[in-house]
Amino acid sequence: MKAAVLKSLGQPLAIDHIADPEMRSGEAIVDVVAAPVLPYANEVFSGERRYPIELPLVPGCGAIGRVRASGPDATRLKVGDWVFCDPTVRSRDDASMPDITLQGWSARGEGGLRLHRYYHDGAFAEQIRVPTENAIRIGNIEPEQAARWCALTVMLVPYGGLLAASFQAGETLLVSGATGNFGSAGVAVALAMGAGCVVAPGRNERVLDDLQRRFGERVRTVKLSGNEEEDRERMREAAPGPIDCVLDLLPPSAPTTAVRAALMTVRPYGRVVLMGGVGMLGGDGLDLPYPWIMRNDITVRGKWMCSPDAIPRMAALVRSGLLPLDHIDVTTFSLDCANEAVEHAAEHAGPFRMTVIQP
């Protein structure tokens, strides 16, 4: 099969013919119809993000495709089914503390590297081999819709955080990093879940105006100044009442002061979920006040990606019309143009924009 291969960091992807994946028990082979190119893919491939990956590697984080073959443990998955290939691969021998790898993208810890060495190659290829449970049915779609369904890769991240926070319809959410790729998706997902109000702070006035235009009065935008105390007060004032939950999705380049300014807007007994990249490139710690957390009974938790049951639930949100995909601007590239796709994704990053490779 044809694939885009990362042979060394800092070098272009090589478009090669490699062996077709071989299915074993507990696995499925999926024909890749559309694979998203994340905006920071160039930072992973250059080594700037210092992801623990072993080369050579067929990269690609998630895909929409159709089942080519499945093993004897699959009782409902059929050849031809449309599926979302979940890149979050979990070890099966410890349900309470599974090791995790993002197939074709990154690994975490020694156990994650062991998974990475087996479920190694990602979706920048004509076929991908995934664990059976990672080929998740999304129902019938038209082939031309496959690229838009790649938006699940981005939207599932904030959705995982909101589910972890037990976010409820009618509540007020603050999305820290709302003008970014994942943050803007978090605004859309929260509204689809029934948020009474979403406070959307950021520095990019154009994106803030666009969020207001897209979603109307349920979104309250806040232009940040960079002054921690001032920004915290303005975010509180923007909300129609107490802020029930804060979801942080700020990128590695953001300072911890921006995180803290947002997190400390939450009401007593409120919840905070950390899902961003702050600190991954070094720098100061978050330094939240112990007395504030304790006396206000604040729940602070981290969340990485989403639980497996989030995917069919999100597919249901899309199919119900609560989370429409038709407003997403999608640019597609052939597999032969994978390097151009990576460059395009970096140069055209932004809310509700997707770059997709279609093998």
Q: How confident is the model over 27-70, as pLDDT tens digits?
A: 999 999 999 999 999 999 999 988 889 999 999 999 999 999 99
Instruction: Find the helix packing angle between 152-164 and 181-192, rounded to 10°.
Output: 60
pTM tops 0.85: yes
- Read off the pLDDT of each residue in 127-134 and give the average, rounded to a whole number: 97
Question: What are the C-alpha distances in Å from 341 to residues 36, 124, 219, 357?
Answer: 10, 11, 32, 7
> Regarding the domain with residue range 155-302, which homologous superfamily does it belong to in the CATH classification?
NAD(P)-binding Rossmann-like Domain (3.40.50.720)
Question: What are the C-alpha distances in Å from 78 to residues 33, 89, 135, 138, 308?
Answer: 17, 21, 11, 12, 19
Structural element, H or E, at residue 113:
helix 109-118
- Read off the pLDDT of each residue in 272-284 and give the average, rounded to a whole number: 88
- Read off the pLDDT of each residue in 204-219 and give the average, rounded to a whole number: 96
User: Which CATH number applies to 2-151+325-358?
Assistant: 3.90.180.10
What percent of the chain clears pLDDT 90, i.e. is strictly above it? 90
Q: How confident is the model over 64-119, as pLDDT tens digits?
A: 999 999 999 999 999 999 999 999 999 999 889 999 999 999 988 899 999 999 99
Q: How many whole angstroms separate alpha carbon 308 and alpha carbon 136?
A: 9
- Read off the pLDDT of each residue in 236-261 and give the average, rounded to a whole number: 96
| CA-wise closest residue to 316 among 67, 138, 80, 167 | 138
Query: Counting beta carbons within 10 angstroms of the beta carbon of residue 300, is it exposed (0 to 12), middle (13 to 18) or buried (19 or more)?
Result: middle
Q: How many whole angstroms separate alpha carbon 310 and alpha carbon 9?
A: 33
Q: Where along the chain do its domains lie?
A: 2-151+325-358, 155-302
What is the signed CA dihedral for 112, 157, 356, 46, rounded to 10 degrees?
-50
What are the phi and psi torsion angles at 179 (to 5°)? -90, 0
